[in-house]
Homo-oligomer: A and B are copies of this chain.
């Protein structure tokens, strides 16, 4: 087989224009599928470009256009598969509209978040999908607006009703989880994942306490366990609960990551989840169906949220004058074995 020579990437629209016998304006119009050019001309130009091994130079187009086909995606926690699923949904949707995804993982690091946003601005990203890090200042929305960088925040709102936002009804979700446990006869129900600095945690915890109160169940502060938002956090939280004089009979977890840690600790102690202790998670990550036992959880539709976030941003790019677009998706309780419902 003959070895193809290394191409120099040096074919430009000028070369195509010359070869096809048209002007470079025409070539440019063809490449952008303009309707101004006669069909036959367009075909000829495209064939010539193909034949000459032409590669569109986006750097040049970006400079000229003052923008790009790049969308920045800033994610706070990729070790949580909820956000990975969200990312997958968002990226797929962007690609199908010919945008590509510049990814940055902040790991909840605010300085890193500032840095990557600044970098995306330099890069002339057309817009940004932002899953904000913990402690992100509400001023960030002002900054991004001053930059003229369109954005949509996801999951965590930055207290700015004037910005585009896609999230889910965290309050309702945890209420559904708690109510379900109460319906199964539980009264000593714990909550693991308390974190007063995390707005989502605050809301979810509120859903939990309000639900208890609505059912005339006293709220026991000992049963609201602070923890890291991680599997290890859940494990430690459960360990703490198991060491109480009176261990609760059921646990509502801030999210599935924590729930997985909780299941692990229950198993390690030789107890049976669902029989000895009921556990409910939140988020509905793919692996929740494959826990041992399968995890009852509040499904938030991660991929759909990602897709929707992309869609909102694309809509915003098309029409900057649109009023704020805000979506709050309804969660869904998926009942599996970890809550013990199937033992009744």
Contact = CB atoms under 8 A, between A and B. Distances in A.
B105 A102 contact: no
Interface string A283-295: 0001101111110
Interface in A51-70: 55-60, 62-63, 66, 68, 70
A268 B287 CA distance: 15
Given A6-B148, A87-B78, A103-B91, A264 B292 contact: yes
Contacts of A105: 87-88, 91-92
Contact of A231 (B55, B59, B264, B287): B287
Number of identical protomers: 2
A23 interface: no
B290 A146 contact: no
A100 B88 contact: no
A142 interface: yes
A253 to B, nearest CB: 13
Nearest to A115: B95
A227 to B, nearest CB: 14
A122 interface: yes
Interface residues of A, number: 68
A309 interface: no
Contact of A101 (B62, B103, B148): B103
B102 A102 contact: yes
Nearest to A234: B290
Contact of A59 (B95, B124, B142, B148): B124
A298 to B, nearest CB: 19
Interface in A82-140: 84-85, 87-88, 91-92, 95, 100-105, 112, 115-116, 119-124
Contacts of A120: 100
A85 B79 CA distance: 7
Interface of A: 3-9, 55-60, 62-63, 66, 68, 70, 73, 78-79, 81, 84-85, 87-88, 91-92, 95, 100-105, 112, 115-116, 119-124, 142, 145-148, 231-232, 235, 260-261, 263-264, 266-268, 273, 286-287, 289-294
Instruction: Name the 8 nearest CB pairs between A and B, nearest first.
Output: A267-B292, A103-B103, A59-B62, A59-B63, A264-B290, A292-B292, A231-B290, A58-B122
